[in-house]
Amino acid sequence: MSPLPAYEIPVTDEVIAYMDERGGDFRVSTACSGPVLMSVKVKPPKPTDVVIKAGGHIIYISRYQLEWISEISMRMVPRFFFTGSEYAL
């Protein structure tokens, strides 16, 4: 089973730069604090995920998060991935 067709959700330039720095594709999944953006190396995509194209990357979004997301922003990146001034959102 392949992922659902591409969907239109805006992705901020900061998120695209973040993905460029780390490489690879990402997934928005459910966490206690809300939606989180993680590498697919950590959170592999599921066949029911929706696909978003972001620069040269793909973001997979859990179908359970889809109705709640209007934009993919740095607020979805877990704070422990930030350093120094990047921590202030």
Position 21 in a domain? yes
Position 89 in a domain? no
The span from the CA of 17 to the CA of 72, in Å, is 13
pLDDT at 49 over 70: yes
- Which residues form the domain of 9? 4-67
pLDDT at 82 over 90: no
In the chain, alpha helices (H)? 13-22
Position 45 in a domain? yes
The span from the CA of 75 to the CA of 87, in Å, is 10
Span 18-29, pLDDT tens digits: 999 999 999 998
Question: Into how many domains does the chain fold?
Answer: 1
SS3 31: strand
- At 61, the pLDDT band (50, 70, 90 cuts) reads very high
Q: Is pTM, for the whole model, over 0.85?
A: no
Cα 59 versus chain centre, distance: 5
Position 12 in a domain? yes
Position 52 in a domain? yes
